[in-house]
Structure 1
Amino acid sequence: MKSVSLKILFSSFSLLLFIQPLCAQHEENRTHNYKPRVINTTDLGADPDDEQSMVRQLVSANEFDIEGLIVATGCWKKSQNNTDMLDKLVEAYSQAYPNLKTHADGYPSPEYLKSISVMGQDEYGMGDVGSGKDSPGSELIIKAVDKDDPRPVWVMGWGGMNTVAQAIWKIQETRSPAELETFLSKLRLFDILGQGDSGAWIAKNFPEVFYIRATEVYGWAPSDEYIDKHIQSHGPLGAAYPDRKYATEGDTPAFMHVYPTGLNDPEQIDQGGWGGRFSFTKKEGIRSMSCVEKENETKYDPYYMYGNTSEGSEAIKRWSEAYNNDFAARMDWSITGDYSDANHHPVAVLNGDETRQIMKIKAAPGSTVALSAAGSSDPDGNTISYSWSFYDEPSSYDEPVKIQNSSSVSATVEIPEDAGNKTIHVILEVHDDGEPNLYAYRRVIISVN
């Protein structure tokens, strides 16, 4: 009898030791909503879509730690000599800033944005990389990566990638192999369409670098009529949003990929989110746009990058109502300093967790998993609705999955008997009945043992 009591006591003590760190970790995470570190390089002036994307980035700037706005080149804009276009956009933001900060915390000051608005490489491609080619932009990238901050730095290429190539070149030339490895490990590169030969140079010579080249970046954006009604009619930032010449906001998927909505972890590129979905199987020779001379990239063959999955831009478009309404609501914020005059995002709570982190659960085949959004709320007091859905594409289990009470605050996932050693992704979508409807997400990944 004594040994049984001791065994129970020991088991209880062990369980307590196990639970306490988890509770402490949960308490730390509960109040922390992660912000991605972002540096945008843009070939402003090549196409109005860069200006369009910058307006969306600025109006959602509270969701990111923006550490650089760099005017750079690309194959459609092979030289740059000033930041005038960028400065005008930041000035428009400065006029909207007093209103924006009424509606959400975390908007950077205009003075800060001006301080990180710099020139990158002013000439094209690898011809502007090497000795004596350092630029304010390449130095800014180095400084950002060198910060004592464990978060990675996402450098977004809305044009060519030679500014970050120059930063890498300098680190290779001036630091030890170990220091270079540390530097590269903190970089995350997201390249829109490939607009120069520097991306291939990076991928060939530094294959360990986390490098996404997105080629499916069209077909997801709102219509011209929507833009005219909800964006361009709204104050100084709306006035700074130009009509499209070719396609609308081709560069936006770069920062949409890391947009902290609760929908995806940007490091897990196959999960899918507002910026699309990508494969962890690297692809050989994802070529740049037609404006890049083919031989400039083929000389680096073979080179490998992460690329879009077969869904293409449909992986973005499936969330269209949410990201369109997010943009429209933020433009509403930009023109009123009265909090009650605009709608604000609901907060999605998953099984008591109030963060935006991805939740991972283990389950057995044939079992059920109970999920709850109890505690979800809306800051405006609007009515909120719930939707639980099986996200097939990133799940390794390919057959249908039944979710009971899928439009209720609590739902039950039925784990199929044949789902052993598979994963099941379930998305909680919470939206309000405000104008426009706004959304919040949480993702559950169920690993079936």
Structure 2
Amino acid sequence: MKNPVLVALFCLMQTLILAQSPTPSKPRILISTDIGGTDPDDNQSMTHLLMNSDLFQFEGLVSSPSYGEGNKKEILRMIDIYEKDLPKLNKHNKKLAKPDFLRSICKQGRKGNAPFSGYTTATEGSDWIIKCAKKQSEHPLWILDWGGLEDIAQALHDAPEIQHKIRIYWIGGPNKKWSANSYAYIAENFPNLFFIEVNSSYYGFFSNNTEPDTINTSDYYNRVIQGGGHLGMDFKNYYDGEIKMGDSPSLFYMMDGNPEKPERESWGGSFEKITYSPRTIYNQTTTLKDTVAFCSIIEIHLKGPKIEIPSDSVCFWMEIPYGKTIQKWPGYHLGNGDYAIRYIPKKAENLHYRFTSKIAEINGLEGDIVVSNLWPGKKHSTDYPLGNHWYSDKSDINLYDEKIQGGKTVLKWRNVILDDWAKRWKWLK
């Protein structure tokens, strides 16, 4: 095409075509977090979120601590720190989220885990999820869950019609342990959700893997973050600055490619469809002859006296040694002398437990169970069947990062992700 007139016409046509092409939309996201609780990795992830806030269309920031003392005030505190650094950040990017807007969408959700039914009463957080899901939009609402499922379960119970308007990327693992009842409610009643259940892959981002050329997360603070404004000073308060950010793979996933395709490779992992969520029901305490997959539901039912207390009341406890402490999990009276508890182990181990209760028939019962390292494991007749859009960590043994199922699907992107973030830390120096 040597004719200059034709060249000019061709360039003009291309310009017009590009001008008419729709600008790629920012994903609509709502964060559900237990920030301020026992694990400060949420604070690290919130720092990353705020520094990349221009990439998302924010709908909500909900405090949903199924365990610990997390609260909305901690989200607001992080926004205050971000606001101090915003003038420097704005010199490089004026599209970052406005602090007052972020404050306006902060909501308090349920504090503490749900009873055996999986839901209780509406909260400010669950109502906000419903409101955001029902907004008129061509795009779905992505709920990136860094904590418990209680507010999502409550929202689905109160407005089941929203199930087709939302997508969920959930950091499970330990969070699943605390949200066993809400998880069971969702899996049983909403199997057709678009749900990415990440029980282990996210560990790959901060694993101890020290393969050649893999960025060491232990010295990243000293090399990159230190001296990076108020956010940088605050970051030192979490794990002494060592990178964990266990919830950030949900953000990485939304930052890298089409989120509607979980089986693709992405910064936030690569996932495969699962057709069932494993649940094993026992009508007595278990022994080391019993084996379940990690992150699967163990449901133990016991018989006892027909006492006069409301159904779904806590009346016994499962005690499990955890390091130098004892973790306690509530068990419930279901009525008519039936008692039950759900527990979800987060890792492969031989697990010992003991029941304590004022009910003599239950108090002092003990049990053991073997937890295997492959999710979702073998099928049982009592599993929850799932629909066509439920995804989880890839089971290919070649993608394990040591004992972490699917860990390499995230680990492989660690350098790219941290190099990308380093560019923004430079803005604060």
- TM-score, with normalisation over the residues of structure 2? 0.63
Matches within 5 A, 1:140-159: 140-159=128-147
State the alpha-carbon separation in 2 of the partners of residues 23 and 292 from structure 1: 64
Q: Which amino acid aligns with 1:209?
A: L
Q: Which amino acid aligns with 1:244?
A: Y
The CA deviation string for residues 323-371 of structure 1, in whole angstroms up to 9 with x for no partner, is: 10111111222x25xxxxxxxxxxxxxxxxxxxxxxxxxxxxxxxxxxx
Which residue of 1 is the match for residue 188 of structure 2?
Answer: 204
Which residue of 1 is the match for residue 122 of structure 2?
Answer: 134
Which residue of 1 is the match for residue 204 of structure 2?
Answer: 219
CA contact 2:118–2:184 (8 Å) conserved in 1: no
Which residue of 1 is the match for residue 421 of structure 2?
Answer: 327
Which residue of 2 is the match for residue 119 of structure 1?
Answer: 108
State the alpha-carbon separation in 1 of the partners of residues 277 and 45 from structure 2: 29
Q: What is the percentage of aligned positions where both structures have the same residue?
A: 27
SS of alignment partner, residue 100 of structure 2: helix
From the superposition, tell whether residues 270 and 26 of structure 1 become closer, same or farther in structure 2 (CA, over 3 Å): farther
CA apart distance, 1:48: 1.2
Which residue of 1 is the match for residue 246 of structure 2?
Answer: 250
Asked if 1:185 is matched to 2:181, the reply is: no
The CA deviation string for residues 367-389 of structure 1, in whole angstroms up to 9 with x for no partner, is: xxxxxxxxxxxxxxxxxxxxxxx
From the superposition, tell whether residues 186 and 235 of structure 1 become closer, same or farther in structure 2 (CA, over 3 Å): same
Q: Which amino acid aligns with 1:199?
A: Y
State the alpha-carbon separation in 2 of the partners of residues 284 and 129 from structure 1: 16
Q: Which amino acid aligns with 1:206?
A: F
Which residue of 2 is the match for residue 58 of structure 1?
Answer: 50
Q: Which amino acid aligns with 1:113?
A: L
CA contact 1:201–1:300 (8 Å) conserved in 2: no
SS of alignment partner, residue 86 of structure 1: helix
State the alpha-carbon separation in 2 of the partners of residues 212 and 156 from structure 1: 10
Which residue of 2 is the match for residue 38 of structure 1?
Answer: 29
Which residue of 2 is the match for residue 296 of structure 1?
Answer: 342
The CA deviation string for residues 170-210 of structure 1, in whole angstroms up to 9 with x for no partner, is: 114xxxxxxx1xx2111111111242121232121111111
Q: Which amino acid aligns with 2:393?
A: N
CA contact 2:66–2:111 (8 Å) conserved in 1: no
CA apart distance, 1:24: 8.4
Which residue of 1 is the match for residue 41 of structure 2?
Answer: 49
Q: Which amino acid aligns with 1:152?
A: P
SS of alignment partner, residue 384 of structure 2: coil
CA contact 1:283–1:307 (8 Å) conserved in 2: no
The CA deviation string for residues 200-246 of structure 1, in whole angstroms up to 9 with x for no partner, is: 32121111111111122113235121123312431111122233289
Higher relative CO (CA 8 A, sep ≥ 6), structure 1 or 2? Answer: 2
CA contact 1:203–1:211 (8 Å) conserved in 2: no
Asked if 1:161 is matched to 2:149, the reply is: yes
- TM-score, with normalisation over the residues of structure 1? 0.60
State the alpha-carbon separation in 1 of the partners of residues 155 and 382 from structure 2: 19
Asked if 1:235 is matched to 2:243, the reply is: no
CA contact 1:204–1:301 (8 Å) conserved in 2: no
SS of alignment partner, residue 103 of structure 1: coil
CA contact 1:269–1:279 (8 Å) conserved in 2: yes
Q: Which amino acid aligns with 1:110?
A: P
Q: Which amino acid aligns with 1:220?
A: F
CA apart distance, 1:279: 0.7
State the alpha-carbon separation in 2 of the partners of residues 297 and 69 from structure 1: 28
Which residue of 1 is the match for residue 393 of structure 2?
Answer: 308
State the alpha-carbon separation in 1 of the partners of residues 221 and 133 from structure 2: 36
Q: Which amino acid aligns with 1:204?
A: E
SS of alignment partner, residue 203 of structure 2: coil
CA apart distance, 1:91: 0.6
> Match for 1:267 among 260, 268, 274?
260
Q: Which amino acid aligns with 2:88?
A: N
State the alpha-carbon separation in 1 of the partners of residues 104 and 34 from structure 2: 19
Which residue of 1 is the match for residue 63 of structure 2?
Answer: 71
Deviates more, 1:292-301 or 1:149-158: 292-301
From the superposition, tell whether residues 288 and 101 of structure 1 become closer, same or farther in structure 2 (CA, over 3 Å): farther
Structure (1 or 2) with the greater strand fraction: 2
Deviates more, 1:294-303 or 1:222-231: 294-303
> Match for 1:280 among 245, 268, 273?
273
CA apart distance, 1:129: 5.8
CA apart distance, 1:251: 0.8
Which residue of 1 is the match for residue 368 of structure 2?
Answer: none
CA contact 2:45–2:248 (8 Å) conserved in 1: yes
From the superposition, tell whether residues 208 and 325 of structure 1 become closer, same or farther in structure 2 (CA, over 3 Å): same
Give the number of equivalent residue pairs.
297
From the superposition, tell whether residues 27 and 199 of structure 1 become closer, same or farther in structure 2 (CA, over 3 Å): farther
State the alpha-carbon separation in 2 of the partners of residues 272 and 322 from structure 1: 13
From the superposition, tell whether residues 315 and 25 of structure 1 become closer, same or farther in structure 2 (CA, over 3 Å): farther
Which residue of 1 is the match for residue 332 of structure 2?
Answer: none
Matches within 5 A, 1:89-100: 89-100=78-89
SS of alignment partner, residue 143 of structure 1: helix
**Runs (5+) with no aligned partner, structure 1:** 1-21, 173-179, 337-449
State the alpha-carbon separation in 2 of the partners of residues 27 and 292 from structure 1: 60
The CA deviation string for residues 3-44 of structure 1, in whole angstroms up to 9 with x for no partner, is: xxxxxxxxxxxxxxxxxxx99886543x61321111111112
